[in-house]
Structure 1
Amino acid sequence: MTTDPWGRVDDDGTVYVRTSEGERVVGSWQAGAPEEALTFFRKKYDALVTQVELLEKRLRSTDLSASAAMTAIDKLRGSVREANAVGDLDSLSERLDALTARAEERKVEQKQAQDQARDQARDIKERIVAEAERVADETTHWKSGGERMTQLIEEWKKAPRADRPTEQGLWKRLSAARNSFSKRRKAYFANLDQQREEVRVVKEGLVSEAESMSHSTDWGPTARAYRDLMQRWKASGRADRASEDKLWARFKAAQDTFFDARNAVFAERDAELRVNAEAKEKILEEAEAEIPRISDPRRARTRLREFQEAWEEAGQLPRDVRDQLEGAFRKLEDGVRKEEQAEWERTSPEARARAQDTVDQLSSAIAGLEAELDKARAKGDERKAKKHEEALEARRSWLAEAQKALEEMS
């Protein structure tokens, strides 16, 4: 009989394996020496060891699921229990027990990870739904809102799944938000179409008015009427793009017809008035050279009247130089007016009386301060004396200016 720590071969060729439960037959060997039989059945044991080691490695270094691991362990346990092999089968069972405990731990870990993943998925999808509901309830930027709603649907599809009841409830809210947004957008554009139709009718009327006046020769009132039509056009809003473009083309064509005709008439009139401009340029040149040199405001006023009479007699000015020449002549008139006002203020009795009153008040104040200064010096009060001296210096300066102004009025 040939033996091994974990088995033996009987004289009749029967092979046994030793376990904690006792010996059991694992096979029969009739083809060779008993040592060859033990070697053959040890290799079967080694194959089982390899399978156990591989499963240990997978459970340790991969994300093998707990359920798959348990299935593999159970299968291997059956193989070990019924193994026709010679080796330490008890140690393999113990290693499988350890693997079972680790698989159970992994089952708990995976359950926790699944719960956490579902919670995260729920949070992600609740955020998506909340934003979709905000877009549905608040936005009036329909293009960007529609694009964002589409993006949210795509984000939902790519997001991980939560538990089934949560998924169903959140999807129901998301669908309701999308439908609500679509209804609001549809209602808005339906109302907008109605508004644009109303605007189109209004602008049709404005165009008709503009076209009816396009050949008017009542230049002033018609120009004002066109300005009023333009204000009404801007205030009326916008019609649909096609109608807006066509109506504006008609409106502008009517305006252009009128204003082109008016400009042609005014251009012809301006050409006729060019001689008046030359005359007024000469009058202005003479007035600008002479009037500023006259020191007496009365004489300046008299001479200005002569220039004003000549200015009126010269007639109307062309539009292109009207503002420039009229402005320059008004500047001369304003200068004479200011000189007259200054002369009146300088020589008026009221102004002289006010100037005299100022001189008298300052003189009286100076006399009082001089008396106070003498008293302070007599008492040796240097601080008060210095204060009175400073006040006197200021008031004497004011008195000199007031006396000069009074002299100029005399």
Structure 2
Amino acid sequence: MSSDPWGRVDETGTVYVRTADGEQVVGSWQAGSPDEALAYFERKYEGLVVEIGLLEKRVKTTDLSSKDAQTAIGHLREQVDAHHAVGDLDALRKRLDALVELVEARREERKAQRAKQSDEARHAKEALVAEAEELARSDQWRAAGERLRALVDTWKGLPRLDRKSDDELWHRFSHARSAFSKRRKQHFAQLDAQREEARRVKERLVAEAESLSGSTDWGPTAARYRELMSEWKAAGRAQREHEDDLWNRFRGAQDVFFAARSSVFAERDAEQAENLKLKEELAGEAEKLLPITDLKAARAAFRGINERWEAIGHVPRDARPKVEGRMHAVERALQEAEETEWRRTNPEARARAAGLTGQLQAAVDKLKGQIEQARAQGNTAKAEKLERELEGRQALLDQALKGLQEFGG
């Protein structure tokens, strides 16, 4: 007979294990000594200890499912309850009980974690839906389209919710994307129509511009080109594949016209510059007639100068007022000299001037006599009134005398 603290072997070879409920039969041993029997069943106990230890580690450190953990615990509990090992089986039962509690706690933790993840996923998807619905109203077609594609990738990376919630949110999300795509398609269809209309308008403008490129009607044609440019800008852009070609043709036609005009204007400017030089020389020749001493000779000389002036042609517009002003000054001097000569030699005008002067002189003499009489009578007020009247008549007399002098005295 052999024994240890947790078991014994009786004389018949029966092996027992001690438990809180008393001794339990482990089995019988006939092949060897009692010590060998105890050692064999103690090794079986150590094996259970190792298996339970490994299971505890898996539960604590891996994502072993609650179901698999409970199955493994049940299998080990069957072995412990079968009493086919010698050792502290009650301690193993307690460890298995603690393991059951741990598995349940881990299951609750996972459940709470899944609930938290689901709640976070719901909020994340609701935020994606809200942003997608906002983007559906955007006119920033490229940026909004790229952002919606990014939102789809984000959605795919989120956990699924319960079927009903996930389907409802996805329906809203998908509807927002569809609404945006529909609006974008309509926008670009309308834009294509506008660009097609712009192409037709610009082809008409190009045709007219090309038809005008050979015109020599410089002013009206240049004005029409400015109008065509305004119409071009108002037409909007055509399709990209047509816009550059149309513009190059339109601009090319203008360039042909304006290059020809510039060439003609350059020749004209050179001619007008030479004309200006000639007219300045004539203006200087005319100015040498001043002051006028011989009216008849000056008039004949100016007539000859003016005939040569008229034959020369145009000068640059900005120089015209100055050079023409010099000629006009000489012409006015001639006119004034002619008017003076006419007044001097006109008998009727001389007689009228002499008559008026005589009348004014008589009136002045009469007023002077009346003033002397009034003062002699002591009527100062009447004398002062007559003196004021005398001042006006005297001024008229002075002017008449000056006019009479112009007739030669």
- Shorter-chain TM-score above 0.5: yes
Aligned residue number for residue 200 of structure 1: 199
C-alpha separation between the residues in 2 aligned to 1:124 and 1:326? Answer: 82
Aligned residue number for residue 152 of structure 1: 151
- The percent identity for this pair of structures is 55
Residue type at the aligned position of 1:109: E
1:264 aligns with 2:263: yes
Aligned residue number for residue 358 of structure 2: none
Residue type at the aligned position of 1:74: G
Structure 1 position 99, deviation (Å): 1.4
Change (3 A) 1:281 1:113: farther
User: Is the CA contact (8 Å cut-off) linking 2:273 and 2:315 kept in structure 1?
Assistant: no
Aligned residue number for residue 112 of structure 1: 112
Aligned residue number for residue 25 of structure 2: 25
How many aligned positions are there?
Answer: 295
1:47 is paired with a residue of what secondary structure? helix
C-alpha separation between the residues in 1 aligned to 2:281 and 2:8? Answer: 144
Residue type at the aligned position of 1:176: H
Structure 1 position 178, deviation (Å): 1.8
C-alpha separation between the residues in 1 aligned to 2:176 and 2:94? Answer: 58
Aligned residue number for residue 82 of structure 1: 82
C-alpha separation between the residues in 2 aligned to 1:55 and 1:229? Answer: 90
Residues 146-186 of structure 1, C-alpha deviation per residue, up to 9 Å, x if partnerless? 21111111111112232332222111212212222221111
2:16 is paired with a residue of what secondary structure? strand
Residues 275-319 of structure 1, C-alpha deviation per residue, up to 9 Å, x if partnerless? 356679999xxxxxxxxxxxxxxxxxxxxxxxxxx9xx995239x
Aligned residue number for residue 14 of structure 1: 14
1:90-169 map, 5 Å:
90-136=90-136, 138-169=137-168
1:5 aligns with 2:5: yes
User: Is the CA contact (8 Å cut-off) linking 2:135 and 2:144 kept in structure 1?
Assistant: yes
Residue type at the aligned position of 1:265: V
C-alpha separation between the residues in 2 aligned to 1:193 and 1:79? Answer: 81
1:363-382 map, 5 Å:
none
2:17 is paired with a residue of what secondary structure? strand
Change (3 A) 1:277 1:157: farther
Aligned residue number for residue 46 of structure 1: 46
Bigger mean CA offset, 41-50 vs 169-178: 169-178
Aligned residue number for residue 215 of structure 2: 216
Structure 1 position 63, deviation (Å): 4.2
Residues 371-397 of structure 1, C-alpha deviation per residue, up to 9 Å, x if partnerless? xxxxxxxxxxxxxxxxxxxxxxxxxxx
Structure 1 position 60, deviation (Å): 3.3
With normalisation by structure 2, the TM-score equals 0.66
Residues 211-265 of structure 1, C-alpha deviation per residue, up to 9 Å, x if partnerless? 2222111111111110111011001111111222222222112211211111111
2:86 is paired with a residue of what secondary structure? coil
With normalisation by structure 1, the TM-score equals 0.66
Bigger mean CA offset, 13-22 vs 109-118: 13-22
1:12 is paired with a residue of what secondary structure? coil
1:275 aligns with 2:280: no
1:231 aligns with 2:230: yes
Aligned residue number for residue 55 of structure 1: 55
Runs of 4+ in 1 over 4 A off after TM superposition: 276-283
C-alpha separation between the residues in 2 aligned to 1:281 and 1:154? Answer: 85
1:70 is paired with a residue of what secondary structure? helix
User: Is the CA contact (8 Å cut-off) linking 1:67 and 1:107 kept in structure 2?
Assistant: no
C-alpha separation between the residues in 2 aligned to 1:208 and 1:94? Answer: 101
Structure 1: tracts of 5 or more residues without a match: 284-309, 330-410
Bigger CA radius of gyration? 2
1:140 is paired with a residue of what secondary structure? coil
Aligned residue number for residue 307 of structure 1: none
1:184 aligns with 2:183: yes
Residue type at the aligned position of 1:8: R
Residue type at the aligned position of 2:204: G
C-alpha separation between the residues in 1 aligned to 2:172 and 2:45? Answer: 60
Residue type at the aligned position of 1:144: A
Bigger mean CA offset, 62-71 vs 222-231: 62-71
User: Is the CA contact (8 Å cut-off) linking 1:279 and 1:314 kept in structure 2?
Assistant: no
Structure 1 position 326, deviation (Å): 8.9
C-alpha separation between the residues in 1 aligned to 2:25 and 2:175? Answer: 71
Superposition RMSD in Å = 2.8
Aligned residue number for residue 386 of structure 1: none
Bigger mean CA offset, 47-56 vs 12-21: 12-21
Structure 1 position 130, deviation (Å): 1.5
User: Is the CA contact (8 Å cut-off) linking 2:42 and 2:87 kept in structure 1?
Assistant: yes
C-alpha separation between the residues in 2 aligned to 1:115 and 1:31? Answer: 59
C-alpha separation between the residues in 2 aligned to 1:266 and 1:259? Answer: 10
Structure 1 position 266, deviation (Å): 0.8
2:238 is paired with a residue of what secondary structure? coil
Aligned residue number for residue 316 of structure 2: 317
Structure 2: tracts of 5 or more residues without a match: 283-308, 323-409
Change (3 A) 1:133 1:326: farther
User: Is the CA contact (8 Å cut-off) linking 2:24 and 2:83 kept in structure 1?
Assistant: no
User: Is the CA contact (8 Å cut-off) linking 1:66 and 1:103 kept in structure 2?
Assistant: yes
Aligned residue number for residue 241 of structure 1: 240
Structure 1 position 124, deviation (Å): 1.1
